[in-house]
Structure 1
Amino acid sequence: MIGIVFALGAAFSWTYACYLWRYQTKYLSASQINITKNIIALIIFSPVILTFDFQPGFIEILILLLSGIIGIAIGDTFYIISLSKLGTRRTLTVEALSPIIAAIVGSFLLQEMLSLKMWIGVFIVSISLVGVALQKTKNNKYITSKKDKKEGFAFAILSVLCAVIAASLSRFVLKNSDLTPFQTTEIRLLGSIVALFPFIRNDLIGSIKRIPLQNKSRLLYATFLGTNIGILLQQNVFKLLPIGLGWTLLSTSPVIALFFARAEGEVLNWKTLVLTATTICGVGIVFI
């Protein structure tokens, strides 16, 4: 039960943080936002470093560093790009694919077998997502072209693949070592910063200084909520629940994102609501 609570909490934290991060794309690039939030999150959790016992867990630490590079450095950068092109709701709706992808990846990496109901879920989710992608949204002030729309969905799918692979690596370590979710979160954040550091533009500090004070507060709050709390809860989910089940619950984000749709200039029609509901139903079939 506690794993389910952690998963739903992580879904809410991540959804609200995405809504706040999107406002920063006016001032910072996706990679700048990503490394800024990761550095802030690493500093917040820095006391955890004192609890590490590096030698016995050297291999596990390397795996977690790789997980951070794939999931946070690469995956989150793709995710933020998708947010800037698609908006919170559409980007999070693509995430409904993650339990299906997680089940497939888990079958190879963690010896998890797929059942018939999972394939039924694949079909329902896929059809629903195609419908969502084709829906026209009235008064959307962010999506300006079909090119942005296509690129946004491509980056969203790539971010999901990165997240699922990274999650599988994290679950492997959490199942086979004594490392805690706090420790694995900090190691993954460190890996992401190492990977992103060479790509920082010289004007990062200057760009941050130009951000209005209100947006700086949003960036800090979104980082604490989405990166520190979100990833920590996510790591607990990976420890307590199988990948397929965990990602099913984490993928309730599209439902939560509907509460932010109006603030992003979207007017939802009944087709969009029905297709979003069937997406979640398809994910739910995997859970049942």
Structure 2
Amino acid sequence: MRRPIRNPIIPGTRQERTGTVPIIRRARAEISRRFAGLTERVLQLFDGIRTYSVNEASAVLYGLTPEELTALNGELQAALDYWIASGREAAHSFWWSPYVSDASQTGAAQSAANLTRLSEAYAASRSLATIVRSEPYRNRVGLAQVKSYEHWTGQGAQVRAELAQIIGSAVADGRNPKEVKTLIRDRLDVSASKAKAFAQTDITDALRQARWAERDQAEAEFGLNIGLLWTSALLPTTRATHAARHGQVYTSKECREFYAKNGNRYSCHCSQTECLLDDDDKPLLSDTLKAAMAKEKKDWRPTQ
């Protein structure tokens, strides 16, 4: 009697295939909190600059000596270090690192649950606890955290340069303080939006990296023939090159190559789920699942 095909477990929803929404929601709330604190501090520093002859008819005179300007730049750097770039909490861990760790563990958990369903050999010998204790897993998470740290440090340097330019130009041109504070708020709002976009990219990237790695480990350790079933969110904003892959099966190498070029990793909501392959490298999926995924792709309507 032919054994029934075991379909892989596809996480998330049609709108969000990775299952990272809770992590991203927490991350974005933290980013909002941090940028709010940064904005408050920068405005306090700007308010501390002495002004003279403020009226509607003439330019504002700022009483800022070169020495005070140097000190102000140092205060701006300290504010960025505390709120964004390299500020450290009491536990001495970078504030962004837990989000990378959570995403990586979520990806590992998804793979472990899925491969346990698909393979009795895997189920008998490997678990999430085994994965997260392994040296390769811990090394991957550590490298991902370092990469993220470098991003935030770089963004902090960029924001500091932009704020210094806004304040320096305001002092030189005698701009009205209310106008300058609006420019500061607007600039930091833009930076916060970019930070939130990065959060989505970094979190989903960490999850996918964890899944690809576990697929490779399962294949090497248990001799399983495993492909990666591509599931696209099929949002109106989904790129056509991403939607076209929905329902197709790829190797982990092909997935890595795709995400390494053309900015494909940015703002991507797609996921890849382990599936077993037969001796001809054809995916072992039920006709029902294949038909459902084909219909989803056919019904997709991109933004015009």
Which structure shows the higher strand fraction? 2
TM-score normalised by the chain length of structure 1: 0.31
